[in-house]
Amino acid sequence: MKPWGIFLLLLCLQAFTDAVIGQSQTCPADENASRCDEWEGEFFPGIDKIKYEGPSSKNPLSFKWYNAEEEILGKKMKDWFRFSVAFWHTFRGTGADPFGAPTKYWPWEDGTNSLQMAKRRMRANFEFINKLGVDWWCFHDRDIAPDGETLEKANANLDEVGKKKVLWGTAQLFMHPRYMHGAATSSELGVYAYAAAQVKKAMEVTHHLGGENYVFWGGREGYQSLLNTDMERELNHLARFFEAAVAYKKKIGFNGTLLIEPKPQEPTKHQYDWDAATTANFLRKYGLIGEFKLNIECNHATLSGHSCHHELETARINGLLGNIDANTGDPQVGWDTDQFLVDIQEATMIMLSVIRNGGIAPGGFNFDAKLRRESTDVEDLFIAHIIGMDTMARGLRNAAKLIEDGTLSELVRKRYQSFDTEIGAQIEAGKADFDFLEKKAKEWGEPKVASAKQELAEMILQSVL
């Protein structure tokens, strides 16, 4: 290579190093990285606490619509949402995909999955949520602390890292090869027992951290083929697993809500908790309906062929709405992309359900969402959460307008007004049998059917967006 070529190559390498490591790097990923274990500086220098500046602000590191202390329909915004940061996406997401290597190299990372590195990430997490103005975070056990050669070692690692209150915790029962056939639905008894031990510890840590919920997401609880699957036996085992979880929750005095997170497929071809209705039926069948609620993820809703609003309403009318994973998928992509929700109309529909539910405490809105592969700046972590929080805040404001205006509610009331009669009341009370109804049908003749006014309803919705 020519001398000038070598010079240009060195310049390019330096530029890449500056981009990846950062000249203002606070926690150098080099041979001195071990010093960072005791380091008390900022992980996000130059980024102050995010403030509300209003819709006219052009500052990307500010809230335009989310004003934590502002009251909407008698409740502060922060209490409607109870926002939470997902540790696994925010601090363990690398940008890798099936076709490409990681693209994110945060300046505090040293390239290891050591216990020391886990503690450093946790400090970065707490600085992040404090600057973002969020009170809660959520975790998978194996994301915040490294696994161990034995269960005892893995448990000890978890004890070392967990130190601050969480919205909810969960056990990662899908990544390790032992869980390739499932965890609670595995065909191997030893795996079932190991999964129980892992959940036991994760629940203890969640309880110790003041967690208000505990989530079960069964990514491997399903099947690839029914030819080699005893579905009935697996479902029975899953129910026994949940029964044991309820018993242990009560044994240790954990008063948090147990949540199941429905998803139709991925990574399995078919998961047993396909959607909210399927999960509700499972809970009723096994007598668990009073012990669990649902964590509805919007991207999972669309994968199951529903809207997020549909899943929230299904959970709500069954008394099962417990938490929301606020994210979305791409309509052109058929998998779980976990993007930040930025659709204002969808956010408005979501908040209509939340308001009708009276809120979702002790649950909240967890940002189970990740930066796009191509977004690699540290500030992008803040910008993504800011737009997610602002979108939901706009949804809340819009939903409040709809409710206070009353036009949409009146449209719905009028559509069903034929049941607001004496005979309608008899039907809804279960006191009108077929003989009685046949008599009325003959008496009334051909019924008149009114317009549903769908386009008018859509116009009313658009008026507040």
Q: Catalytic residue among 89, 140, 309, 310, which? A: 140
Task: Let me know: does 276 contact 264? Beta carbons within 8 Å.
Answer: no
Helix axes 115-132, 378-405, angle to 10 degrees: 40
Which tokens hold the place of 457? 């309803």
Mind spelling out the 3-state secondary structure of the chain? CCHHHHHHHHHHHHHHHHHHHCCCCCCCCCCCHHHHHHCCCCCCCCCCCCEECCCCCCCCCEECCCCCCCEECCEEHHHHHCEEEEHHHHHHCCCCECCECCCCCCCCCCCCCCHHHHHHHHHHHHHHHHHHCCCEEEEEHHHHCCCCCCHHHHHHHHHHHCCCCCCEEECCCCCCHHHCCCCCCCCCHHHHHHHHHHHHHHHHHHHHCCCCEEEECCCCCEECCCCCCCHHHHHHHHHHHHHHHHHHHHHCCCCCEEEECCCCCCCCCEECCCCHHHHHHHHHHCCCCCCEEEEEEHHHHHHCCCCHHHHHHHHHHCCCEEEEECCECCCCCCCCCCECCCCHHHHHHHHHHHHHCCCCCCCCEEECCCCCCCCCCHHHHHHHHHHHHHHHHHHHHHHHHHHHHCHHHHHHHHHCHHHCCHHHHHHHCCCCCHHHHHHHHHHHCCCCCCCCCHHHHHHHHHCCC
What is the C-alpha separation between 54 and 456, in angstroms, rounded?
31
- How many other β-carbons are positioned within 10 Å of the β-carbon of residue 445? 7
- Alpha-carbon distances of 206 from 141, 145, 238, 357, rounded to whole Å: 9, 14, 21, 25
Residues comprising the chain, all counted: 465
**Tokens 């046949």, located at residue:** 438
Active site residue 140: yes
Catalytic residues, which ones? 140
